[in-house]
Amino acid sequence: MPDIKVTPLGAGQDVGRSCILVSIGGKNIMLDCGMHMGYNDDRRFPDFSYITQNGRLTEFLDCVIISHFHLDHCGALPYMSEMVGYDGPIYMTHPTKAICPILLEDFRKITVDKKGETNFFTSQMIKDCMKKVVPLNLHQTVQVDEELEIKAYYAGHVLGAAMVQIKVGSESVVYTGDYNMTPDRHLGAAWIDKCRPDLLISESTYATTIRDSKRCRERDFLKKVHETVERGGKVLIPVFALGRAQELCILLETFWERMNLKAPIYFSTGLTEKANHYYKLFITWTNQKIRKTFVQRNMFEFKHIKAFDRSYADNPGPMVVFATPGMLHAGQSLLIFKKWAGNEKNMVIMPGYCVQGTVGHKILNGQKKLEMEGRATVIIGTLDVKLQVEYMSFSAHADAKGIMQLIRMAEPRNMLLVHGEAKKMEFLKDKIEQEFSISCYMPANGETTSIVTNPSVPVDISLNLLKREMALGGPLPDAKRPRTMHGTLIMKDNSLRLVSPEQALKELGLSEHQLRFTCRVQLHDPHSDNDTLGRIYTHLKSVLKTYSIQHVPDGTVIVESIVIKVTSSAEEPNLKVILLSWSYQDEELGSFLSTLLKKGLPS
Amino acid sequence: MKLYCLSGHPTLPCNVLKFKSTTIMLDCGLDTTAALYFLPLPLVHSPRLSKLPGWVSKDGAVNLEKELKECSGRVFVDSQPEFCLPEKELLDLSTIDVILISNYHCMMALPYITEHTGFTGTVYATEPTLQIGRLLMEELVTFMERVPKAQAATCWKNKEIQRLLPGPLKDAVDVWSWRKCYSVQEVNSALSKVQLVGYSQKELFGAVQVTPLSSGYSLGSSNWIIQSHYEKVSYVSGSSLLTTHPQPMEQSSLKNSDVLILTGLTQIPTANPDGMLGEFCSNLAMTIRAGGNVLVPCYSSGVIYDLLECLYQFMDSANLGSTPFYFISPVANSSLEFSQIFAEWLCQNKQSKVYLPEPPFPHAELIQTNKLKHYPSIHGDFSSEFRQPCVVFTGHPSLRFGDVVHFMELWGKSSLNTIIFTEPDFSYLDALAPYQPLAMKCVYCPIDTRLNFHQVSKLLKDIQPLHVVCPEPYTQPPPAQPHRSDLMLELQPPPMAYRRCSVLGLPFRRRYERIHLLPELARSLVPSEIKAGVSVATVSAVLQSKDNKHVLQVSECSVQQPDELDPNLSDSLGNTECLKCMIFTSELYGHILHLQTEDVLIQLEEDATHIICDNNEPLRTALRDLVLRFLQKL
């Protein structure tokens, strides 16, 4: 039985370190290659020794596909390709290819330069890794090799985020990466056609959430920011440089404009301008409205939002600061957080999901005292958290409703959940199985799920045979009375051809062997032979309504291709011997008729 | 399979392919050369053009002084310029299912096809093709609507009258199919029917799959593969192997075509684009140094990007860095902006710039440093800001409408100025005709990056199509160079040539069709190997055909009245095992077995076995299985 095997090396019942191995039709594909923000040790990267204990991965993988530029989806890529060793193709969309190396370099800098870790990938490795990248365009069918093809769909999670369909023969898998089913201020909604994959692998970050309307969330967010600023407090919004940051900037920019507010808004990191430039150059990946108006007004040129300098954090008075990274696990956002945490007038708004182990996750769970780590994870003190902590879900993930919507769009035969918490997955799994009556799986990391597929077999049918059948059955074979078609399948040099039996015999230089039966049925019927035949004709006509039955003047009745004759001897004219003759192709009908006639004719 | 040829123009094709009950239009180019028969539309009142004498035949019998004007020794139609449309009578346009667009120059007739004809199909195009095509259409509409003409001249088209007109009007063909420009509403409505596709995207339409491939000619330009499982038609239109800004041409996917439809080769096979570019630069420099202005009539997208890039490098090295460039068009700004956002569709070199992130085209820098300025028209800011000497890029290259008309009137009188023709679509002498006598220098540097005959014959050698279909002009040397047999297609078998209104039957020898065996059926088959490497299985199954897709499935109970069957029989019927292939090579041939107790005769022949028995079903089936097993073994 052909099957599809899926093994998450990361993101199995967990968020972070996305890395999913898929085996389909003899091909092995790695979906995403991310890092885990919650760990600083070996667990940070997927365990590639699962694939092979020693040596390089190249011969074990046919391709690697990266869904988007977030580090939990691509952070382990240079480690995998340059340190473990992989030289095959790595597929990602153009924007991902552009932005991914910048974030990787950022990640490297924080880890090596700031935290002082060694044995980490180098800048050169990032460059070498990116040389292996093959850019993907939306909807383009990329032929990885003769059998394996992949196709990207718009995912709407961040700039360049893609879902990807993997296809070998008639078997297929769709991997969603992270996606968003509702269009926002700068991105469109995820979309896929009714591709009916054997398996849909979906993220499930918000498996149990059904988020209130976006407008309410935005109003809440603006209200909180506004109130804090009004009372002279500072607002910290930890974000990733690209993605939600642009969305929230557009939101605040328009609000500041409308309310004529004066408090400064800053964006940390030098990435900002560069980041916005990417958005301008990849405007085709944003939503309809921005694309339509970009010639007149580019949405990514902000009037109120200025670059942040480290010294501003100590300035008196209100301000709003967007700072990276988004989960408060390192870098500038964490620095500012430490400075402002002690003042209850201030506020931190977490606009996205935080993985376990990060400061963001801890404060969201109400932790009021934090142990602070210095270089090399030495604990150097505790921090009292007095500022207000708010959580506003602005990450562009599909919620439960969105996930169900995608299932309805793609109509998968099986479902597999990753990138979520086990408990929440459980809930969604039940819901999916109930509503769609399809199997839903949620393997843990290192656990393999096998899905049996039932592929149909494509065969070349000779046009003669097909046309003959179509002609017999009219333009469309009648569904009520399906016609049985007889043909011979020739398997030769990996080709499968279905031809008429005569053609097969001719082609193979064989002669057909006819198997024929003639059955004698004895019957008492006080009529002439011809009348008996007539009565048989009428009887069969009434029983076999949909069959072709002919009464031929030479004294035979023909049902389809079965010949029926009536004879009798001169001595016993009333004892009729009915001769039924059929070939093996009509075995069922012949057998049925002989049994039927044995029961006699209705008087 | 048939091809209906609605346009005879080799570079502005419009063909309709009937393929597996799908009707597919390949491009709909608009032949704008008809505009050359019309008087220019001046943007500013021109005393010269408004005082032209009307035309009256020599004997005075025909008086068309309202419609026709004599200008510079030729007769022109005084009316809004008209264009020659694809043939509309050859087939019912409402039956078209799909229109495939290969590049933005080949879609300009779209509104004429999709509007007012009952068209209900889908148009497929890439995003750059749609966006830039839209710009070019809007530009055309603006050019026309900016200068409204009160009257439309029609009398001259009367066959009897046209016969009496002086040349070249007398020889104009298909004049009754000429139409004036469409409106913005029609453009919007036509373009709303476009569905975007990406390169190598497999788009299914019934039993037909269409796939665009990069053709290397312009932003988003494509060739198309139209195929079913067993037939493949390649449509090659406007392709280029030169390294300019677009993504390079994809060639290997064109292999194994049954038919290749070849259009859009270079219109200037004798000119080398690189040489022309050099000539362009040196003439430009010479004029500027002498204090003259340079006028470049051009389309608002395409080669202009390459010209600007070339000049960006050239001007500084020629010490002309301070010369201003002006790009004047209602869509100049949009065209420049759009060119920067289609990284996916650009050559590698430009793509990698976006990763930095930098704009892919250097004209962004020219604009930033104020070396290149763009204006929607000569009215407004331009008139106060412009400095001479300068270089002006503006349309339309026919010199009949658009801002270029004004510059012809303005600069034509001075021999210091130069007009440089770069677009190959119009004969420059015809374009200049209404402006004669002209003091301004004229330089003809047509830059046509499309395939030349040398490149195309090499390409065809590589991809080996079984048959080639092409416009008739490609099958003979250019009329002006009858001895240049290298400037035509010489192929074996010879190409099938078409002209306007041709209907060609395309040669296909199709012998197979794709069918799917459902898994249950596939599992039930018992193949037997009859020769080394060849296995055979007999298939008896139910055929289902829907939407040109065929499926075979296990036949359910094939007799209809199950309640009338005795249970034993139903069982045996339900158990419809698939038939084994029967091969019989016994030495028993010619024997007759007689089972006397049961009165059964079994006749054994080389190719047949006949069992004659009483109606004893258990016995018969037992015999049957025995014979079958016996046959199997052999």
- Render pLDDT for B139-152 as a digit per residue (tens, 0 to 9): 999 999 999 887 78
Would you say residue B119 has pLDDT above 50? yes
Cross-chain residue pair A485–B542, CB shorter than 8 Å: yes
User: Which one has a higher pLDDT value, A454 or A195?
Assistant: A195
Q: What one-character-per-residue DSSP string does B249-295 give?
A: PP-GGGTT-SEEEE----S-TT--HHHHHHHHHHHHHHHHHTT--EE
Per-residue confidence at A482, pLDDT binned at 50, 70, 90? low
Would you say residue B584 has pLDDT above 70? no
Would you say residue B585 has pLDDT above 50? no
Q: Does B569 touch chain A (CB under 8 A)?
A: yes
pLDDT of the residue at A456: 83
Look at residues A35, A75, A68 and name the one whose alpha carbon lies nearest to residue A177.
Answer: A68
pLDDT of the residue at B188: 97
Of A139, A470, A498, the CB nearest to B201: A139
pLDDT of the residue at A570: 81
Cross-chain residue pair A141–B556, CB shorter than 8 Å: no
Interfacial B residues in 347-366 facing A (CB < 8 Å): 351, 354-355, 357, 359-360
Average the pLDDT over each of A117-121, A176-180, B338-342 and give the range with the smallest value: A117-121
Query: Whole-number mean pLDDT of chain A?
Result: 87
| CB contact burial B81-106 (16+ within 10 A = b; e otherwise) | bbbbbbbeeebebeebbbbbbbbbbb
Q: Which residues are bridge partners to B420 per DSSP?
A: B443
Phi and psi (nearest 5°) for A285? -95, 0
Distance from CA of B555 to the nearest CA of A (A): 7
B544-570 average pLDDT score: 55
What are the catalytic residues of A?
203
Q: Nearest 10 degrees: CA dihedral of A569, A572, A576, A581?
A: -30
Would you say residue A141 has pLDDT above 50? yes
Instruction: Note whether B539 and B576 are within 8 A (CB).
Output: no
Q: How far apart are CA A588 and CA B254, in angstroms?
A: 50
Would you say residue B532 has pLDDT above 90? no
pLDDT of the residue at B634: 45
A288-296 average pLDDT score: 87
Instruction: Note whether A72 and A157 are within 8 A (CB).
Output: no
Chain A CB contacts of B581 below 8 Å: 488
pLDDT of the residue at B309: 94
Look at residues B399, B351, B580, B405 and name the one whose alpha carbon lies nearest to residue B42.
Answer: B405
Cross-chain residue pair A98–B333, CB shorter than 8 Å: no
Chain A CB contacts of B547 below 8 Å: none
- Percent of chain B surpassing pLDDT 70: 93
Of B359, B540, B566, the CB nearest to A281: B359
Of B511, B538, B543, the CB nearest to A462: B511
Per-residue confidence at B354, pLDDT binned at 50, 70, 90? very high
pLDDT of the residue at B631: 63
A523-543 average pLDDT score: 85
The predicted-structure confidence for A370-415, as pLDDT tens digits, reads as follows 887 765 556 667 888 899 998 887 777 888 899 999 999 999 999 9
Chain A CB contacts of B540 below 8 Å: 484-487, 585
Q: The tokens of B18 are what? A: 């009937």
Element (H, E) at B381: helix B381-385
Q: How far apart are CA A4 and CA A124, in angstroms?
A: 36
Distance from CA of A470 to the nearest CA of B (A): 9
Chain B CB contacts of A280 below 8 Å: 341
Q: Does B124 touch chain A (CB under 8 A)?
A: no
- In chain A the first and final C-alpha atoms are separated, in Å, by 55
Instruction: Note whether A407 and A415 are within 8 A (CB).
Output: yes
Q: What is the reported pTM?
A: 0.83
Would you say residue A420 has pLDDT above 80? yes
Cross-chain residue pair A466–B572, CB shorter than 8 Å: no
Chain B CB contacts of A588 below 8 Å: 558-559, 572-573, 576
Q: What one-character-per-residue DSSP string does A223-267 give?
A: HHHHHHHHTT-EEEEE--TTTHHHHHHHHHHHHHHHHT--S-EEE
| Separate counts of helices (H) and strands (E) for chain B | 17, 31
Would you say residue A133 has pLDDT above 80? yes
Strand B467-471 and strand B259-262: pairing? parallel
Cross-chain residue pair B510–A482, CB shorter than 8 Å: no
The predicted-structure confidence for B404-435, as pLDDT tens digits, reads as follows 999 999 999 999 999 999 999 999 999 999 99
Query: Whole-number mean pLDDT of chain B?
Result: 88
Q: Does B197 touch chain A (CB under 8 A)?
A: yes
Chain B CB contacts of A508 below 8 Å: 530-531, 534, 536
Would you say residue B554 has pLDDT above 60? yes
Q: How far apart are CA A458 and CA B439, in angstroms?
A: 71
Would you say residue A477 has pLDDT above 60? no
Looking at mean pLDDT, say which of A208-222, B13-27, B53-67 comes out highest.
B13-27
The predicted-structure confidence for B205-233, as pLDDT tens digits, reads as follows 878 999 999 999 999 999 999 998 889 99
> How many residues are given for chain A?
603
How many beta-carbon pairs below 8 A join chains A and B?
258
Would you say residue A163 has pLDDT above 60? yes
The predicted-structure confidence for A52-77, as pLDDT tens digits, reads as follows 888 899 999 999 999 999 999 999 99
Average the pLDDT over each of A177-186, B110-119, B239-248, B581-590 and give the range with the smallest value: B581-590
The predicted-structure confidence for A563-595, as pLDDT tens digits, reads as follows 888 888 888 888 888 888 888 878 888 888 888
Per-residue confidence at B588, pLDDT binned at 50, 70, 90? very low
Cross-chain residue pair A592–B573, CB shorter than 8 Å: yes
Distance from CA of B182 to the nearest CA of A (A): 23
Cross-chain residue pair A490–B198, CB shorter than 8 Å: no
What ipTM was reported for this prediction?
A: 0.82
Would you say residue B573 has pLDDT above 50? no
User: Which one has a higher pLDDT value, B302 or B151?
Assistant: B302
Would you say residue A156 has pLDDT above 50? yes
Distance from CA of A492 to the nearest CA of B (A): 5
Q: The tokens of B605 are what? A: 């022949």
Chain A CB contacts of B130 below 8 Å: none
Cross-chain residue pair B615–A522, CB shorter than 8 Å: yes
Q: Does B619 touch chain A (CB under 8 A)?
A: no
The predicted-structure confidence for B312-350, as pLDDT tens digits, reads as follows 889 989 888 899 999 999 999 999 999 999 999 999 999
pLDDT of the residue at A32: 97
pLDDT of the residue at A370: 86
- In chain B the first and final C-alpha atoms are separated, in Å, by 46
pLDDT of the residue at B586: 38
3-state DSSP assignment of residue B179 = strand
Cross-chain residue pair A283–B341, CB shorter than 8 Å: yes
pLDDT of the residue at A69: 93
Would you say residue B101 has pLDDT above 80? yes
Q: Does B336 touch chain A (CB under 8 A)?
A: no
Look at residues A342, A339, A343 and name the one whose alpha carbon lies nearest to residue A308.
Answer: A339
Per-residue confidence at A522, pLDDT binned at 50, 70, 90? confident
Would you say residue B572 has pLDDT above 80? no
